[in-house]
Amino acid sequence: MTGSYLRTYFLAKYITSNAPALAKLITPLQGFLIETNGYRKMGLRYDDLIAEENPIVQKAINRLPPKEYYDRVFRIRRAHQLSLMHQLLPKEEYLKPEEDVRYLTPYILEVEAEMKEREYFDTMAVVTK
Amino acid sequence: MLVSSTSACLRRAASSSARANASRSLATAAADLGFESSTVDGIKMATKDIAGPITTLSFVIKAGSRYATVPGVAHALQRFAYQNTPKRSGLRLTRETELLGGSLTSELTRDSIILTARFLKDDLPYFFEALSDVFAQPTLARHELAEIVGPLLKLDAKLADADATFVASEGINSAAYRKGLGLPLYAQATDAISIDTVRAYKDAVYTKSNLAIVASGADISTLSDLVSSYLETAPAGTASSTPASTFYGGELRIPTTAGNLLSFGYASDVSPTFNVLASVLGGASSIKWSYGASLLSTTAGKAYAKVTPYNGSSLLTITATGSPAEITSAGAAAVDALQTVAAGVSPEILKKGIAGAKFDALYALEGPAGLASVGKTLLASGSVPAASSIVSEIESVTAESVKSLAEKILSEKIAAVAVGKVSELPYADELGLKA
């Protein structure tokens, strides 16, 4: 799950930095997708949607600064409550685009790099010259 | 043609190395302990170029628990050694060390944090770079404190609590010095250590002026070159100041199931008389399965005397072990031994004591912890300890001074610690001591 999430993340990064024409074509779609997805209307950030039921994301969540961790739990609980009541936040409380920060992604990438490195060292072959 | 170009090359290399040497202070000639010393970029260095396949490299840093701004922070910083740095992760360092063959250790004392690498001689550049990296730019990430270092701190404290000898030594230090040397060596459960305190402590103490590099099996010019290439950018900082230690004294009784122990101690400014008195009292046998011939080994019960040399203070401790009943008799016997010394020291006993003290003092500079002791002296005094002056200082101790030190311990306030079943262990005043 995280793997596919990261692939999308890297693909998006790659497109924005290496294929400006394609990026120009796709970017307007972004607003439309976010609008239809509607997570900002429930006060969530994009990183709140990442599936957390795996060791990598669990570890990343544990590494969040205490304030970030608290805010994440708050947003998710609020969203649960809204979902239960079949409601959206009042319009002025929608998450603003500038508030939609990738607060968790750097930690996920860090944990994933660590796991990759461990795997690399656990399966390495020593070559004698 | 080829020959001439090679020799031109060599000349160039020689002249450039001569220039490099001119910018450094001149390396002193090998002193009587075999160490050559030098100062490069404000970093004190000493090395013993002994033959053999193994090199030991120690970074001795004036950052021990006595300098801790928050109790336990020195312990946290010591345990952060060999974790992530921007250049390589802790895992990579461990695995690469395994691949090259070598060992990395870190040690915390009241005076210093000591990072030591032992490895095959050819790998000097790698390990020098690794230690410099660990010293100059550890990442000190918050998650490392939570995931790796924090549990290690708890483990160290738990293991230490289960060791009666350690508990007693902590007690003696805390009663004797209160602050500074009296601070606990390890982080306690009550210490709230945050990553910000560790970072602040690192910035204050991991500086070039607090660092001594001591090696055996490496030559001084190679080390100098490595220092210039890997440690030039490390912060210069100011050397941690070591306030004079005051001896307070007092009695502590610590109930624990770790074992029974009675220990009393007396400290004052560094003096060779302490070493000689400890050697005269003795108690530890130098030969297996024998009792030895020192005063404490010939008395009933098991008790031994020991000197702990700190920067600026010598601490003499007499420790009795065994069951509470054995401790009571050994404690009384130790006081008897002190009274014997206070009544007068015969020339033979003094001679024996001086010989023992000389060996102990010199072995401390030679044995496994030798490099750390040399580094500590190098930081404190700016020069490598000289065996000849250590020997002459100890030889100048007179029977009169040993006698008067014993009298002082018997008459002045001392530090006393009872560990274990405290209800059955004697108080210091029951043994005729003041605490």
**Nearest C-alpha of chain A: how many angstroms from B143?**
6
Q: Looking at the predicted structure, is the pLDDT value of residue B207 above 60?
A: yes
CA angle in degrees (0–180, nearest 5) for B225-B135-A60: 135
Chain B contact probe: residue of A59, A116, A121 with most B CBs at under 10 A: A121
CA-to-CA distance for A73 and B301, rounded, in angstroms? 63
Residue B266 pLDDT: 95
Residue B25 pLDDT: 52
Residue A10 pLDDT: 80
CA-to-CA distance for A91 and A88, rounded, in angstroms? 8
Give the residues across from B253 on adjacent strands: B418
* Choice between A124 and B370, residue whose per-residue pLDDT is larger: B370
**Nearest C-alpha of chain A: how many angstroms from B71?**
24
Q: B142–A117: do the CB atoms touch at under 8 Å?
A: no
**Nearest C-alpha of chain A: how many angstroms from B83?**
13
* φ, ψ dihedrals at B56, nearest 5°: -115, 125
Q: Looking at the predicted structure, is the pLDDT value of residue A55 above 90?
A: yes
pLDDT mean over A89-97: 93
Residue B13 pLDDT: 41
Q: Which residue has the tokens 């239960």?
A: A84
Q: Looking at the predicted structure, is the pLDDT value of residue A75 above 80?
A: yes
Q: B142–A65: do the CB atoms touch at under 8 Å?
A: yes
CA-to-CA distance for B332 and B317, rounded, in angstroms? 15
Binning pLDDT at 50, 70 and 90, where does residue B28 land? Answer: low
Residue B9 pLDDT: 40
Q: Looking at the predicted structure, is the pLDDT value of residue B369 above 90?
A: no
Minimum mean pLDDT range among A29-33, B124-128, B183-187: A29-33
Residue B339 contacts A, CB cutoff 8 Å: no
Residue B179 contacts A, CB cutoff 8 Å: no
Q: What share of chain B is helix, strand, coil (3-state, %, to 5)?
A: 50, 20, 35
Residue B190 pLDDT: 80
Q: Does the structure's ipTM exceed the value 0.90?
A: no
**Chain A residue at shortest CA distance from B94:** A121
Residue B91 contacts A, CB cutoff 8 Å: yes
**Chain B residue at shortest CA distance from A127:** B99
**Chain A residue at shortest CA distance from B99:** A126
Q: Residue B302 belongs to what H/E stretch?
A: strand B302-310
**Chain A residue at shortest CA distance from B147:** A63
Q: CB within 8 A of B16, min separation 6: which ones? A: none
- Looking at every residue in chain B, the average pLDDT score rounds to 89
Binning pLDDT at 50, 70 and 90, where does residue B272 land? Answer: very high
**Nearest C-alpha of chain A: how many angstroms from B127?**
19
Residue B16 pLDDT: 44
Alpha carbon A61 to chain centroid distance? 11
Residue B89 contacts A, CB cutoff 8 Å: yes
**Nearest C-alpha of chain A: how many angstroms from B58?**
27
Residue A128 pLDDT: 79
Q: Looking at the predicted structure, is the pLDDT value of residue A5 above 70?
A: no
Binning pLDDT at 50, 70 and 90, where does residue A32 land? Answer: confident
Q: Looking at the predicted structure, is the pLDDT value of residue A1 above 70?
A: no
pLDDT mean over B101-113: 96
| Whether the Cβ atoms of residue B416 and residue B244 lie closer than 8 Å to each other | no
Q: Looking at the predicted structure, is the pLDDT value of residue B17 above 50?
A: no
Q: Looking at the predicted structure, is the pLDDT value of residue B139 above 80?
A: yes
Alpha carbon B96 to chain centroid distance? 28
Q: Looking at the predicted structure, is the pLDDT value of residue B4 above 70?
A: no
pLDDT mean over B128-145: 95
Q: At how many degrees (to 10) do helices B164-177 and B150-161 cross?
A: 100
CA-to-CA distance for B307 and A59, rounded, in angstroms? 48
**Chain A residue at shortest CA distance from B95:** A121
Q: B92–A126: do the CB atoms touch at under 8 Å?
A: no
| Whether the Cβ atoms of residue B61 and residue B112 lie closer than 8 Å to each other | yes
* Choice between B427 and B289, residue whose per-residue pLDDT is larger: B427
**What torsion, rounded to 10 degrees, do the Cα atoms B193, B194, B200, B202 define?**
70
Residue B18 pLDDT: 42
CA-to-CA distance for B205 and B197, rounded, in angstroms? 12
Q: CB within 8 A of A72, min separation 6: which ones? A: A48, A61, A64, A103, A104
Chain A contact probe: residue of B85, B87, B91 with most A CBs at under 10 A: B91
**Chain A residue at shortest CA distance from B195:** A65
Q: Which of B383, B25, B58, B386 is nearest to B211 (CA)?
A: B58
pLDDT mean over B423-429: 94
Pick left, alpha or beta for residue B259 (phi over 0 → left; psi -120 to 50 → alpha; otherwise beta).
left
**Chain B residue at shortest CA distance from A63:** B143
Q: CB within 8 A of B353, min separation 6: which ones? A: B276, B277, B279, B280, B345, B402
| Whether the Cβ atoms of residue B237 and residue B210 lie closer than 8 Å to each other | yes
Residue B301 pLDDT: 67
CA-to-CA distance for B365 and A4, rounded, in angstroms? 59
* Choice between B16 and B279, residue whose per-residue pLDDT is larger: B279
Who among A65, A121, A126 is closest to B91 (CB)? A121
Chain B contact probe: residue of A62, A63, A119 with most B CBs at under 10 A: A63
CA-to-CA distance for B220 and B222, rounded, in angstroms? 6
| Whether the Cβ atoms of residue B43 and residue B62 lie closer than 8 Å to each other | no
pTM of the model: 0.87
Q: B99–A65: do the CB atoms touch at under 8 Å?
A: no
**Nearest C-alpha of chain B: how many angstroms from A45?**
23
> How many A/B residue pairs have CB atoms within 8 Å?
16
Chain A contact probe: residue of B85, B88, B94, B95 with most A CBs at under 10 A: B95
Residues from A in contact with B at Cβ < 8 Å: 62-63, 65, 114, 117-118, 121, 126
Residue A105 pLDDT: 93
**Nearest C-alpha of chain A: how many angstroms from B150?**
14
* Choice between A1 and B65, residue whose per-residue pLDDT is larger: B65
Six-digit token pair at B363?
A: 């072995």
B149-166: per-residue pLDDT in tens?
Answer: 999 999 999 999 999 999
| Whether the Cβ atoms of residue B298 and residue B363 lie closer than 8 Å to each other | no
Q: A63–B142: do the CB atoms touch at under 8 Å?
A: yes
Q: B143–A62: do the CB atoms touch at under 8 Å?
A: yes
DSSP 3-state of B213: strand
Q: Where are the alpha helices (DSSP H) in B216-303?
A: 220-230, 272-281
Q: Residue A101 has what DSSP assignment?
A: -
Q: Looking at the predicted structure, is the pLDDT value of residue B10 above 50?
A: no
Q: Looking at the predicted structure, is the pLDDT value of residue B368 above 80?
A: no
Residue B27 pLDDT: 58
Binning pLDDT at 50, 70 and 90, where does residue B14 land? Answer: very low
Q: CB within 8 A of B146, min separation 6: which ones? A: A62, A63
Helices (H) and strands (E) in chain B, counts: 15, 11
Q: B91–A65: do the CB atoms touch at under 8 Å?
A: no
Per-residue CA distances from B35 to B116, B163, B395 (Å): 17, 36, 23
Q: A117–B146: do the CB atoms touch at under 8 Å?
A: no
Who among A63, A117, A118 is closest to B143 (CB)? A63
Who among B91, B142, B143 is closest to A117 (CB)? B91
Residue B434 pLDDT: 87
- Looking at every residue in chain A, the average pLDDT score rounds to 89
Binning pLDDT at 50, 70 and 90, where does residue B243 land? Answer: confident
Residues 197-216 of B with CB under 8 A from A: none
CA-to-CA distance for B147 and B90, rounded, in angstroms? 13
Q: Which of B231, B223, B224 is nearest to B20 (CA)?
A: B224
The per-residue b/e assignment along A2-15, b for 16 or more CB within 10 angstroms, e otherwise, is beebbeebeeeeeb
**What percent of chain B is predicted at pLDDT more than 70?**
92
* Choice between A100 and A126, residue whose per-residue pLDDT is larger: A100
Q: Looking at the predicted structure, is the pLDDT value of residue B326 above 60?
A: yes
